[in-house]
Amino acid sequence: MKQLTLEKAIDITWLSVALSFCWPLPSNTSKTRIAFYKILQISSNISACLVLLAVIYSIYLHSENIFVVCKCIFISIGVSQEVIQTTVCMINHDSLQYVVEEMLHCVKEAQPYEREIYYKLVAKCSTLFGSSVVLYVIVYIHEAFLGFRSAAHICLSMFGALLLWFTAARFECLAIEMKQTADVNMLIVCIEKQLYLRRFAQEVVSNFRFIVLYAVGVSTFVLTLCGIIFLTDTPLILRVQLLFASTTVLLEIYIYVWPADYMRDMSIRVSRSIYDTVWYKQTLELQKDILNVLVYQEPITLSISCIIPELSLHYFCSYLSNVFSIFTALRVVVEND
């Protein structure tokens, strides 16, 4: 089977989110095209808001029908996600443009060993991400253009994951260079690359911080609602839809968590990789410089103060544990009533 290259993975990701109007335009784009793109973004947001108003009104008209209300709530969540994510990406357009073009440039100029790392990470996550893209497209295929845009916005998690995986790969490549440090000049070059890469990583994190926060909020709301409805006497088809919705929102969170956790590990590995050098045979001055590199480095994490301490696999497991605890508490309350 032909190996999936990083270039193809980027193209597939771009294609999956194209209708969301969240992928930034190239820096050499004409002003006319930029203006047209902004008009599309604003128009799509207005369109989504009009649909949201219609759905809310439908909830008001059919408030006694739990089946209709649940469907309207899930539609409103998807539509509101479009509005929030498009707005965030409009605001962060220049920053997203920078990180995407930096990624494309690095891929184009990649050395053979760097490409091997890229291929390894693409192969590592291609099955999950590819299956998720197919899943999301099938879910919304019947909703015409608005449905396609909803699918594109859910696939925006692939966009964030792509940038996080790429950043992690850059850290891993730098760790290899760090192991080859033999003198002060080489160490200075590696530290300059590390500082530049850390700034790049912070840009990636800042662009998706609030999108991840909103995704976690939506996931919590959907899972809580599903837990409540599961404990009531509801039709089987609604239960199946709720189970599918729960799986979808959890998968979206995991798609962010996996690369964020790996990026954190790689950002620390860069500094620690210097242990693999023959530092004990170097000059005292170089040994002191190496010590400074090890002391003053902190991991790059995707976090939100007071809400998400650190987006990692440990956080995801704690999140799942809390969800099941809430389900158990709801079940006890319902049974007591």
Question: What are the pLDDT digits (tens) for 94-119?
Answer: 899 999 898 888 888 888 888 888 88
Higher pLDDT, 44 or 147: 44
Kindly state the percentage of the chain with pLDDT values over 90: 4
Between CA 65 and CA 73 the distance in angstroms is: 12
User: How do residues 75-89 score in pLDDT, each as one tens digit?
Assistant: 888 888 888 888 998
The pLDDT score that the predictor gives to residue 1 is 42
Place of tokens 């590995």: 269
User: How do residues 226-235 score in pLDDT, each as one tens digit?
Assistant: 877 777 777 7
- As beta bridge partners, residue 304 has 308
Is the model's pTM score more than 0.75? no
Weakest mean pLDDT among 26-30, 80-84, 197-201, 241-245? 241-245
Higher pLDDT, 215 or 331: 215
Residue 244 token pair: 């599918």
User: How do residues 26-71 score in pLDDT, each as one tens digit?
Assistant: 888 888 998 998 998 898 888 888 888 888 888 888 888 777 787 7
Q: What average pLDDT is seen over the chain?
A: 81
Would you say residue 142 has pLDDT above 50? no
